[in-house]
Amino acid sequence: MRWVKDNIDKVKANVTARAVAVDVDTAVSLYDAYLALVTATDDARRQRNLVASRMKIEAAKMTPDVRAEVIAQGKALKASVTSLESRLAQAESAFVAEAAKLPNRTHPDVPLGAEDAATTLRTVGAPRDFPADGMAPRSHVDIGADLDLFDFEAAARVAGNKFYYLKNAGALLEIALINWSMTFVAGRGFTPMTAPDLAREDVVAGCGFAPRGEASQVYRLEESDLCLVGTAEIPLGGMYAGQVLTSKQLPMRLAAFSHCFRREVGSAGTATRGLYRVHQFSKVELFVIARPEDSEAIHKELLGLEEAMFTALGLCYRVLDMPSGDLGNPAYRKFDIEAWMPGRGIGGGWGEISSASNCTDFQARRLGIRYREESSDDEAAAGSRDASVGGKGATRYAHTLNATACAVPRIDCRHFWKTTSKPTEA
């Protein structure tokens, strides 16, 4: 917040470019009010403690009138501290609620504008020429129905719209994709994991997702502070919340399989039918905790890993540098990969199958993920000390990055479109 105050014009320009609903002036004003109350509360506590100390040392020497006066002064200060602490808690809550809306800074190379301002960095492969093969492209919904790969109607009766059963080769394909993806990334230095499908609200918010509100994509459990996670990025980030790591542990590369749950508020239309946009799906997510000076190189490494996977699957795809208005709050820069889907829309179209984001210290600050530069001699003492930023042995906020290794329904969509009408080729 000190940086925000010192660079308020840059922050406002960044908020505008990213189309984020936050009042920077209000956030700064609430921060100032919070700091003023911190000072006032500390002063009142100090005075209360001085009076209490005086009573302990001098009570026996006081005259009745002086003693009564000091006791009254102590009671008044105690009441004042109680009142100030209550106001301080309210001020902190108001300040944090508004300041948490502030987005991350933005990489200077990010294109400005809404989603349609994305820059295409490269296209790999070419869309299949169906007429040359004597075929017409068909929707994955039609192909899957013909081959008995899924059942949307039964799922709707059980759980509502945008849920599904995978069956036969469809179910086997999901398992195969998850196993292949985990094996692929494990062979490239990632620790394979499974993760909880639930996380506490503070962890969800710490990762930059809104657990409450009409526009929230998060499912919350009633009478609980737990939420269903929309990505394994959340429990993986929460795993190291409040931890001080050592530089020798970084970069920490994690790959987790989890179920993902999203409300998909506002999504509708033929382009989102079938498996493309659903409330529950399986996904393998990559998550990296890194030193700040390494995060940009690791971001490109994650993108390269995604491309290697999709090339191995034989997909035609393009890589996009996503614009400021499509970054959300956490990402400093985000690359999306879209695959060509012949049955999407009229005449085919591009559909997102993955993204890779560098969130710099945005999540680490909210979750409290720090690291300390350690020599081999210092390593044994790690975790028992703390220090401010700067100097030998000081702690710094780490950078976090995430990338999609395999969002199963999106890859299913693309693979179903690659099949012919023969069940043996599904």
The answer on whether 352 is annotated among ligand-binding residues is yes
The answer on whether 279 is annotated among ligand-binding residues is yes
The answer on whether 259 is annotated among ligand-binding residues is no
The answer on whether 285 is annotated among ligand-binding residues is yes
Active site residues: 262, 277, 352, 355, 410
The answer on whether 49 is annotated among ligand-binding residues is no
β-strand partners of 370: 244, 397
AA identity, residue 39:
T
Distance CA 229, CA 402 (A): 15
Q: Which of 288, 190, 387, 144 has the alpha carbon at shortest distance from 181?
A: 190
The answer on whether 375 is annotated among ligand-binding residues is no
Give 400's contacts (C-beta < 8 A, 6+ positions apart): 237, 287, 288, 289, 290, 359, 360, 361, 362, 363, 364, 369
The answer on whether 71 is annotated among ligand-binding residues is no
The answer on whether 264 is annotated among ligand-binding residues is yes
The answer on whether 281 is annotated among ligand-binding residues is yes
The answer on whether 278 is annotated among ligand-binding residues is yes
Alpha helix (H) residue ranges in 195-251 = 201-206, 233-239
Look at the alpha carbons of 405, 407, 413, 419 in this order and tell me if their dihedral is positive or negative.
Answer: positive
CA dihedral 344, 349, 353, 358 (to 10 degrees): -150
The answer on whether 354 is annotated among ligand-binding residues is yes
Distance CA 344, CA 351 (A): 8
Angle at the Cα of 134 from the Cα atoms of 344 and 422, rounded to 5 degrees: 75
How far is the CA of 314 from the CAs of 124, 307, 310, 336, 407, in angstroms? 10, 10, 6, 18, 16
The answer on whether 174 is annotated among ligand-binding residues is no
Residue ranges at the known binding site for L-serine: 231, 262, 285, 402
Known binding residues for ATP? 262-264, 278-281, 352-355
Per the annotation, binding residues are: 231, 262-264, 278-281, 285, 352-355, 402
